[in-house]
Amino acid sequence: MKIALAQINYHIGNFESNTSKIITALEKARAAGADLVVFAELAVSGYPPRDFLEFDDFIERCLLSVEQVAAHCKGIAAIIGSPSRRADIKGKNLHNSALFLADGKVKAMAHKSLLPNYDIFDEYRYFEPFREFEVIEYKGKRIALTICEDIWDIGEDPLYTINPMDELIKQSPDLMINIAASPFHYEQARTRKEVILTNVRKYNLPLFYVNHVGAQTELLFDGGSLAASPRGFVFDELNYFDEDLRIFELEEVINASPKQDANPLGILTDKTVLIHDALVMGIRNYFGKLGFTKAILGLSGGIDSAVTMVLAARALGSENVRAVLLPSAFSSEHSVNDAVELAANLGSPYDLISIENAFDSLDETLQPVFGDLPFDIAEENIQARIRGVILMAMSNKFGHILLNTSNKSEAAVGYSTLYGDMNGGISVLGDVYKTEVFRLARYINKDEELIPEHSITKPPSAELRPDQKDTDSLPEYDILDEILFQYIEKRKGPKELVAMGFEKPIVDRILKMVNTSEYKRFQTPPILRVSSKAFGMGRRMPIVARYLS
């Protein structure tokens, strides 16, 4: 049996495009001699459709797309993800389903049993879990068909009370197929492949796995669909961050031997490279799926805006990224020069607009109220908000999307200004700690100096008052970021952090800053997710809580 894996960049709710891509891939697989072509979880709708699933019209369009694809399944079969309606009125009205199409119609279904309801996932909000398991027979082979999470409950502390493959293996399947929507983070590919290999070793069966690729607002999907040998290694894997289609001969996958000295996990890419490629894809898809082509951002001469600009230029083309330099009386000459140099290196358009007159005007307007009170954070934030107003005005005037350039370290501790540098349509670096931003800059400059060296080596500063440096308000970033990582990603409490060797006053101070800044993060633009615990939909914290604040 020849099995084609079709890895496609779907667009949520764009049924015409999704269906067209699916049929094109199916016909390509047919022309190459495939017997079966496999598509991803909820392929017809895109993932995650969220509350669109509550609209009958949305479900009707999903089912219509399935009918259109099924009509092309003559002489070839397909497996495709779609919501399906349940007949039983008890429980949720929908299943998350894998439909087996052949002879022009839906011949069989498998429904998702394990519905993730943690971090970014909320599938139990919409779907009813399934508790009946039956293999699908095709061309003399028995297929154990599962959906994403169904193969993940394999650890020593199971999250669920049933394991679908433990039930399906009783029916003597010849192979496993898993259709998935597995969002990217920089450790996910390794973890995902470890889960897949654990399954093939446990059940002594080959596994064919299909994932989404592309970005859906903040969620990024890296692809990496694959075929795994029952001998416990990745036989072959599809491209990362790109659409792909590949055909496998079942017997070849079953009988293959691992290459000498090869890593059973196959391709493992450096963390910084993964983050870079994911962010470029995320920007490109956010703009493309919204129908926009041009971006605008404030370019300060600092490392965050510099890295954001390069990523955007690589995603959209340098000519489509407009930089706006907004110096104040506190901006250093070298910062302006660094910003100009970067724009020139990229060949991107830029504008230089001083905010001094605007600041002086507001300062004068507020003088009767502020009186003789000393210059403080109010005046600092006025500068950031003037910049935000100018950038949003240009965004409105020219139809560009404003890129937010704040990093995760700043977002974590609230080192940012609401309605100022927190403005934007999408946050590019909001899930990237400052220390990783430096690594991204070095990676960007590996072949040539695009980002001026001075932007990388100078002490970070908001330049909102004379001689200001980030370390005036924050610990050194190597200490700050490690504490933030252990607290946010690893959920370590204050006692655990102190036991790890961090000083208690610093730990208490940082954790308080994180928790008291939740109200700011509640108002941020969507953040492209590259870690296992990003701010946004996957990290839900109360604003008025007292814990550690």
Residues annotated as catalytic are: 41, 112, 148
Query: Which amino acid is it at 207?
Result: L
Whether the Cβ atoms of residue 26 and residue 18 lie closer than 8 Å to each other = no
- Sign of the CA dihedral running 182, 132, 158, 228: negative
HSE-CB for 485 with a 13 A CA cutoff: 14
Strands 94-102 and 105-111: antiparallel
CA distances for 434 relative to 394, 481, 489, angstroms: 28, 7, 15
Burial 395-418 (b: 16+ CB within 10 A, else e): beeeebbbbbbbbbbbbbbbbbbb
From CA 389, how far away is CA 438, in angstroms rounded?
28
Tell which residue, 79, 72, 131, 133, has the closest CA to residue 107: 79
DSSP character for 51? G
Residue 99: which residues within 8 A CB-CB, separation 6 or more? Answer: 66, 79, 80, 81, 82, 84, 106, 108, 109
Tell me how far apart the alpha carbons of residues 438 and 343 are, in angstroms, rounded to a whole number. Answer: 19
Q: How far apart are CA 247 and CA 264, in angstroms?
A: 20
How is residue 215 written in tokens? 């970005």
Q: Tell me which amino acid residue 14 is.
A: N
Instruction: Name residues whose C-beta falls within 8 Å of residue 17's C-beta, 6 or more positions apart in sequence.
Output: 10, 11
User: Tokens 């909001």 label which residue?
Assistant: 430
Q: What is the greatest pairwise CA distance in the chain? A: 87
3-state helix, strand, coil in the chain (%, to 5): 40, 20, 40
Q: How far apart are CA 512 and CA 537, in angstroms?
A: 21
What DSSP state is assigned to residue 515? H
User: Which residue in the block uniquely carries the two structure tokens 């980002």?
Assistant: 451
